[in-house]
Amino acid sequence: MSGNNLVLPIVLWGRTAPTHCISSLLVMDDFSTIITGCHDGQICLWDMTPELEICPRAMLFGHTASITCLSKASACSDKQYIVSASESGEMCLWDVNDGRCIEFTKLACAHIGIQYYQFTIGTQREGRLLCNGHYPEILVVDATSLEVLYSLVSKISPDWISSMSIIRSHRTQEDTVVAVSVTGILKVWIITPEVSRMQDLDPVFEEESKPIYCQGCQSISFCTFTQSSLLVVCSKYWRVFDAGDYSLLCSVSNDNDQSWTGGEFIAADKVIIWTEDGCSYIYKLPASCLPASEHFRSDVGKTKEGSIPPLVYRIADRSDKQLLICPPVTRFFFSRREPFHKLLIQGDSAGRMSLWSIPDTSPLQPQSTSVSFTISLQEAFDKLTPVSSGIIDQLSVLPGKDEPIKVTASVYIPSQGRLVCGREDGSIILVPATQTAIVQLLQGEHMLRRGWPPHRTLRGHRNKVTCVLYPYQVSPRYDQRSLVSGGVDFSVIVWDIFTGEMKHIFCVHGGEITQLIVPPENCSTRVQHCVCSVASDHSVGLLSLRERKCIMLASRHLFPIQVIKWRPADDYLVVGCSDGSVYVWQMDTGENQRTIKEGNLPKYSHNALVVQAMKTNLTDPDMHVLFFDVEAVIIQLLTEEAQRPNPMLVSPETLQKSQAGADKGGSLLAHKIFKQVKETMKETIKEHLLDEDEDEEEEMRRREEKSKSLSLLEYNLTMDTAKLFMSCLHAWGLNEQLDTICLERLGMLRPHCPISFGLISRGGHMSLMLPTFKESLLRQLSLATGRKLSLSDIVGKGTYGVSRAVTTHHLLSVISLANTLMGMTNATFVGEHMKKAPARPPRPGGTPETPRRTPAAPPQPSNPALQAQIKQGNYKRRETLTCSLVLVVFLTVCVKRVCVCVVVIVCAGWSQLAAMHCVMLPDLLGLDKFRPPLLEMLARRWQDRCLEVREAAQALLLAELRRIGQSGRKETIDLWAPYLPQYVDTVSSRKYHNFVC
């Protein structure tokens, strides 16, 4: 799918929360949102209430390495932007409200710290990002475009910067950047308005450089209460310096085996210091560190016992703490608005968020502070009612057990509409993707059926399935029947996907199979029919599916294999390992030619529906994301419409040959009439004109269909996809009359739980709603409406209150699809046309063009009386046939009229649905529950390449411009003015302005 396509994700998370090993943490200024980054590269958004309760809302995908730092990137409350950086040098600018990626870039250096800095040029405010990391300067980056503008460079002893802080001056226009290098040298840069306006790469050198002997600095912070103190925290001690001349005021060593990791001023006379194991301590500073005291600076240059500050509070000092994989991340934040919270927030490797409210009072004796609120992702998932469903949960719950069998590997086959799921018990399930998604998301008769939808189970692995590959999907040179799977039992199994038969087992590796890869097209003929298998014992194999044997096994790698590359021209297989070493292997001979020692989101094809298995960590079970390409759905609907015969041109011959008469009607009445026609024809025409063994052939064909594999169970994949998509997008519960039409006439299904949608933005970056988003949405809408809402109030329509970007994509999709279906002649999801009838097989003994030869008829009797009786019987038979044909013609005319009425009703239903979402939705839903579409996103779709999406964007944009009124249009023009072209002709410019307003 191209980046300009309108693609909507729907995610099925399952009951197991994704792994979220927290590596960085940030709280927004309004204290309503917490952002956490993890070592696997994902970012989680948590909503926080005024009562200090936390609930996860969404997860952002786009980084390919561990998140190293997070920072806010805007100062205004209406635009809540953050910037994230990863170990690979990636930087992303995100909108916290809807999870959109606004901008992204990749630099050659990795940041470990980012701070936002805002300055004023005239009447306009601009933002900068000051970045430090594994490079010997501080980079100044534009907060909007993420361009590097200039750098702060050291003349004296340049080295990596461990930490930095910005000191804002309220008396002058000069601000100060204070940083400490890894060697313990303090650097000072002065930022003046002239420096802030710099747009080139000329470096700015430091104003002062002073050794303070703080090696291994963990953090540096400026006291905003007194504006005269600086706190520097190192692993073995923390120190307080005078911000004027940077002289030492206080120093405290760590007597225990603990390691300090950070600290912050929480008051003019108190600091909080936290350790590597998650404990925190609040100390009261001595009088020599307080500018308001007469003893200020009295201990400069002196060392005595009285200068060690007393301990006030001990936080998170628990002996029963869970054993963690990596140290927790702790940060202190205080609100500048009421109720002026002072919060210590901690995130650990188990995805747990803990929050402490810091008291202002100082007790006489050191005390311990209990946690105010704590929750993990898994606990939030466990509290959900109903539980979050996986893609095949209805087929994975064993009798007597509550938890379903976890899906550990998946592959989707778009050409067959099937999903192949490998599970942790070693079995593989083959199931229609749309049907199983309908079971999880929508209400209907399927909820009463056990074992629905039809599926096939493959059993052969003794333990967890780790990878599944359908080679024919990658290249047509492979057999269409072959499916390949690998497991932790060291085996690779080849299956016949049509019959479910196990064709071959490869047992050549000494570890679990981690990858299955298809070689490129231009390899040798022998290698082209192989798949490449990678195992955890650091071995790589080429397994020939044609010869059923391993033609090459490379097993001399000393470290885990990370990447496989191909060089077909030289017949080389190149293996990259985690230690940086590279091995080159000859594919045909298996010889190691040489060894070199040196120290994105999925790509989608142009299908209407793509099911992608994802996991945040290798140990997680699969979660499944359904990507709906709106343009592809529209194209496939119109293509099938053009190929379908006109239902208004119905003749007795068409009825005789039709395998599904209800396909021409689309209603229950038409379906009954067609049944009567078929029964009448069977009793008359078919009885006398067709072969006597026709019924036997029909019965045999039905038995064969029942015995066929799942791949040959025919159903209309395009209509099923459209049915699932439209049922999820429609705003249910706002118009009962329209809901009835959607259910009974259009064949849509009502969701039985809030659906977790997603949003794809620039560069393929993606945000996915967690199933717990409904708790945050209920709380948000309850505050907006002033009344308590229940889960039923947001099922089917709550997503239009999530964010403006989500609303824009959803409205564009539902309106464009409704208009497409309205222009079709049989655009309803009920009736036999939802099942695609298989082609009639040729008769034995002949081709479809050559009728089967029947044996010669026995000689007719020569008795004249007997011949007369036969002639009389033939005459009566012809008379009966004539009456039957007259009845068929009459019934055909009735069916035509019924078809016309049904088509009118169906078209009117789609028209009402499109009109409601385009015009009436804000009034029906209420402005307090509705997030209006973004005008800039609609304007970009004004000339979309897809005609239906273009018309939907134009209609929606005009409706939204009418809704916001003249004042709203003027505000939009003023906002867009810097980006609009400058008109030389003032008359035409004035006419354009009056036209828009």
Give the pLDDT band (50/70/90) at residue 668: very low
The answer to whether residues 404 and 436 touch, using CB atoms and an 8 Å cutoff, is no
Of 297, 275, 274, the closest CA to residue 286 belongs to 297
Task: Look up tokens 């709106």; give the residue.
Answer: 630
291-305, 858-872, 956-970: the lowest-pLDDT one: 858-872
Got the DSSP string for 35-99?
A: EEEETTS-EEEEEE-TT--EEEEEEEE--SS-EEEEEE--SSSSS-EEEEEETTSEEEEEETTT-
Q: Give the pair of three-digit tokens for residue 209.
A: 């450089």
Give the pLDDT band (50/70/90) at residue 408: very high
The answer to whether residues 605 and 66 touch, using CB atoms and an 8 Å cutoff, is no
- pLDDT of 987 above 90: no
Q: In this structure, what DSSP letter does residue 431 have?
A: E
The mean per-residue pLDDT over the stretch 797-815 comes to 88
Give the pLDDT band (50/70/90) at residue 200: low
* 282 vs 294: CA distance, rounded Å: 23
Of 680, 686, 683, 684, the closest CA to residue 657 belongs to 686
* 228 vs 289: CA distance, rounded Å: 9
The more confidently predicted of residues 624 and 795 is 624
> Above pLDDT 70, what percent of the chain?
77
Angstrom CA distances, 129 to 113, 151, 294, 361, 703, stand at 10, 11, 39, 36, 70
Supply the pLDDT for residue 85.
Answer: 96
Element (H, E) at 105: strand 101-106
Supply the pLDDT for residue 687.
Answer: 44
Domain covering 481-600, topology: Methylamine Dehydrogenase; Chain H (2.130.10)
Same fold, 110-375 and 481-600: yes
The mean per-residue pLDDT over the stretch 203-221 comes to 88
- pLDDT of 98 above 60: yes
Q: Give the pair of three-digit tokens for residue 82.
A: 């953050």
The mean per-residue pLDDT over the stretch 504-527 comes to 92
Supply the pLDDT for residue 890.
Answer: 54
Of 351, 352, 348, 355, the closest CA to residue 324 belongs to 348
Give the pLDDT band (50/70/90) at residue 569: confident
Supply the pLDDT for residue 673.
Answer: 46
How many other CB atoms are found less than 10 A from the CB of residue 872? Answer: 10
HEC states along 286-334? CHHHCCCCCCCCCCCCCCCHHHCCCEEEEECCCCCCCCCCCCCEEEEEE
Most confident listed range (73-77, 786-790, 834-838) = 73-77
Query: Over the stretch 424-470, which tens digit does the pLDDT of each residue have?
Result: 999 999 999 999 999 999 988 777 777 788 899 999 999 999 999 99
Backbone angles phi, psi at 706, to 5 degrees: -65, -30
Pairing status of strand 311-315 against strand 329-334: unpaired
Supply the pLDDT for residue 665.
Answer: 38
- pLDDT of 950 above 80: yes
Query: Over the stretch 270-293, which tens digit does the pLDDT of each residue have?
Result: 999 999 888 899 998 888 888 878
The mean per-residue pLDDT over the stretch 732-758 comes to 90
Q: Is 791 helix (H, G, I), strand (E, B) or coil?
A: helix
- pLDDT of 96 above 50: yes
Q: Give the pair of three-digit tokens for residue 475.
A: 């290249």
* 355 vs 280: CA distance, rounded Å: 12
The more confidently predicted of residues 594 and 384 is 384
Of 86, 74, 85, the closest CA to residue 33 belongs to 74
Of 267, 270, 350, 253, the closest CA to residue 313 belongs to 270
* 237 vs 605: CA distance, rounded Å: 56
Q: In this structure, what DSSP letter does residue 919 have?
A: I
231-235, 396-400, 439-443, 687-691: the lowest-pLDDT one: 687-691
Supply the pLDDT for residue 648.
Answer: 47
Q: Is 255 helix (H, G, I), strand (E, B) or coil?
A: coil
- pLDDT of 689 above 60: no
Query: Over the stretch 477-491, which tens digit does the pLDDT of each residue have?
Result: 999 999 999 999 999
* 592 vs 573: CA distance, rounded Å: 10
Q: Give the pair of three-digit tokens for residue 944.
A: 């979309």
* 988 vs 976: CA distance, rounded Å: 18
Pairing status of strand 530-535 against strand 513-517: antiparallel
> Above pLDDT 90, what percent of the chain?
44
The mean per-residue pLDDT over the stretch 313-317 comes to 73
* 943 vs 954: CA distance, rounded Å: 9
Supply the pLDDT for residue 2.
Answer: 45
Cβ burial 201-211 (10 Å sphere, 16+ → b, else e): eeebebeebee
Beta-carbon contacts of residue 295 (< 8 Å; ≥ 6 apart): 286, 287, 288
The answer to whether residues 97 and 28 touch, using CB atoms and an 8 Å cutoff, is no
Q: Which residues sit opposite 552 in a β-bridge?
A: 542
Task: Look up tokens 């409205």; give the residue.
Answer: 811
Half-sphere exposure of 412 (CA within 13 A, CB side): 25
The more confidently predicted of residues 838 and 76 is 76
Supply the pLDDT for residue 882.
Answer: 54
Q: Give the pair of three-digit tokens for residue 413.
A: 């086959």
- pLDDT of 953 above 60: yes
For helices 717-729 and 804-822, what crossing angle results, to 10°?
A: 130
Q: Give the pair of three-digit tokens for residue 148.
A: 């590097």
The mean per-residue pLDDT over the stretch 335-357 comes to 87
Task: Look up tokens 């290798």; give the residue.
Answer: 618
How many other CB atoms are found less than 10 A from the CB of residue 600? Answer: 10
Q: Give the pair of three-digit tokens for residue 602.
A: 């999925």
* 601 vs 603: CA distance, rounded Å: 7
Rg (CA), the chain: 35
Q: In this structure, what DSSP letter does residue 12 have?
A: E
The answer to whether residues 625 and 611 touch, using CB atoms and an 8 Å cutoff, is yes
Q: Tell me which architecture the domain covering 110-375 has in CATH.
A: 7 Propeller (2.130)
Give the pLDDT band (50/70/90) at residue 663: very low
Q: What is the mean pLDDT of the chain?
A: 81
Supply the pLDDT for residue 27.
Answer: 94
Supply the pLDDT for residue 114.
Answer: 95
Backbone angles phi, psi at 210, to 5 degrees: -140, 130
The more confidently predicted of residues 343 and 1 is 343
135-139, 299-303, 647-651, 850-854: the lowest-pLDDT one: 850-854
Q: Which parts of 663-772 fold into alpha helices (H)?
A: 668-683, 685-689, 694-707, 717-729, 736-744
Give the pLDDT band (50/70/90) at residue 851: very low
Single pTM value for the model: 0.83
Pairing status of strand 148-153 against strand 135-142: antiparallel
Would you say how long the chain is, in residues?
Answer: 997
Give the pLDDT band (50/70/90) at residue 684: very low
- pLDDT of 732 above 50: yes
Q: Give the pair of three-digit tokens for residue 108.
A: 């050659």
* 241 vs 238: CA distance, rounded Å: 10
Supply the pLDDT for residue 993.
Answer: 54
Pairing status of strand 609-614 against strand 592-596: unpaired
Q: Give the pair of three-digit tokens for residue 150.
A: 């200039």
Element (H, E) at 118: strand 111-121
Supply the pLDDT for residue 178.
Answer: 93
Supply the pLDDT for residue 852.
Answer: 39
Terminal alpha carbon distance of the chain: 37
The answer to whether residues 611 and 432 touch, using CB atoms and an 8 Å cutoff, is no
* 47 vs 380: CA distance, rounded Å: 12
Supply the pLDDT for residue 654.
Answer: 45
Q: What are the extents of the domains in the chain?
A: 110-375, 481-600
Supply the pLDDT for residue 712.
Answer: 40
Task: Look up tokens 């499944």; give the residue.
Answer: 624
* 931 vs 623: CA distance, rounded Å: 28
One-letter identity of residue 121: I
569-578, 696-705, 951-960: the lowest-pLDDT one: 696-705
Supply the pLDDT for residue 659.
Answer: 40
Supply the pLDDT for residue 918.
Answer: 93
Supply the pLDDT for residue 729.
Answer: 92
The more confidently predicted of residues 44 and 340 is 44
- pLDDT of 76 above 90: no
| C-alpha torsion sign, points 447, 449, 455, 461 | positive
